[in-house]
Amino acid sequence: MSGIDILTFLIWLVAAITFILALKFLASPKTARTGNQLGAIGMALVIIWTLITDFIVPGQAGRLWIVAVGGVIGAVVGVLSARRVPMTAMPQMVAIFNGAGGGAAAVVAVSEFLASANASEGQLLPIVPVVATLLGALIGGVSLTGSIVAFGKLQGFISGRPVTYNGQQVVAGLLLGALLIIGVVLAVLVNSIPLFLLFVVLALITGVALVMPIGGADMPVVISLLNSYTGIAVAATGFVLGNYALLIAGTLVGASGAILTQLMCRAMNRSLFNVLFGAFGAVVAGGSAAASGEEQNVREIGAEDAAVLMAYGKKVIIVPGYGMAVAQAQASVRELMDLLIAKGVDVEFAIHPVAGRMPGHMNVLLAEANVPYDRLKEMDEINDEFASADVALVIGANDVTNPAARTDTTSPIYGMPILNVDAAQNVIVLKRSMAAGFAGIDNPLYGDPKTAMLFGDAKKSVENLVAGVKLA
């Protein structure tokens, strides 16, 4: 082993350590920025060393311009996206960037297979590298097109409702069966470039077929799962290329994404199979007012009265949801919190694991508005505190506050752990209208006698609450 090889392994080891520490720090909002920076440093180290070795290794310098051009384009897109994309659109950016990662892994797998097939002169390739290459192409392709569909659903280009049809499970089964058969043939029977390209095309189609039937309410789980897919594809690519930095990074992303996916499924009391094939979000018959066409009698409240109710209470729990994200109301919510605290009110935020459209969506938005981390409480930590709260202020969080999850066995969210906002002395709900959430069902909370509805754009409503608290 040459000195360059030894140094390369050391660089990879250092990078792997930074990746592991990055994940550790990302586990807490207080250290998340440090974790993000550590991960970026580790990846930059690997990229820079790759560029250096391209200069040193004979015959490799000619490819440097490709890497340099790609790096410049990627850096420009990354910087502009980070600076210009609003926090409310962060789920879409995560989805599309994840798709780019999966697509990159698939392209590398295709390139490696084509190069190996051309060099082998029709002879079978070693089975282990072929299997790894096929996995990289399959999982990367599924992640690419699946992430594009997820992006479209989040952005509104594609309906957020599940796009279902009769026999969709059969079609998905046939696609997966065809991929398995073609993969076995390529691994043990024949070295065929046309058959491999068909394999890649079917992988791309499978990504669309798997994500289209999934409703918008399940996008946090889908994004997490697709992140895991991309990590596995990258790990397979690292194995094929003999690059341990890629292998370790991909394995960490794949494993952490899988764990996060499982935790989010548990938070909804649903299996991953049900998320992928249950068509959650379709309008269902029975079990809710939204489904049966019945209308609830709701009590409306003005912003001034709501502000007085909070200003003279002892404890207020704010429940942020997607409505806050859409209205970009997080800064106004922070101002409301500051005013209430100045009046001696104890204010906390209740965060449901699947609130919003990506894992940690509410945490990210509130952190952007500089809401102190110690006021953000996870569901298990704060649920018992609602009973002592004078007011629970719900900002666009529909399904995660729906009491039907506890009692209505016909509801599609039955059994899902929810925030116990109905235990508070008073509940104020900020919504644009009485339209159902992504689950497609009504929320009995809105008909509760102690619930008052403040209709309108969430940001404008919170600004009116701020004005009311100042006068209270």
Long-range contacts of 446-451 (CB under 8 A, 24+ apart): 446/296, 446/298, 447/289, 447/296, 447/297, 447/298, 448/422, 449/299, 450/424, 450/425, 450/426, 451/298, 451/299, 451/422, 451/427
What is the rounded CA–CA span in Å between residue 153 and residue 428? 29
What is the rounded CA–CA span in Å between residue 391 and residue 337? 13
CB atoms < 10 A from the CB of 292, how many?
11
Residue 399 designated active-site: yes
The token duo for 25 is 């720090």
Give the bridge partners for 158, in sequence order: none
Catalytic one among 399, 408, 422, 448? 399
First to last CA, the chain: 75
Positions marked catalytic = 399
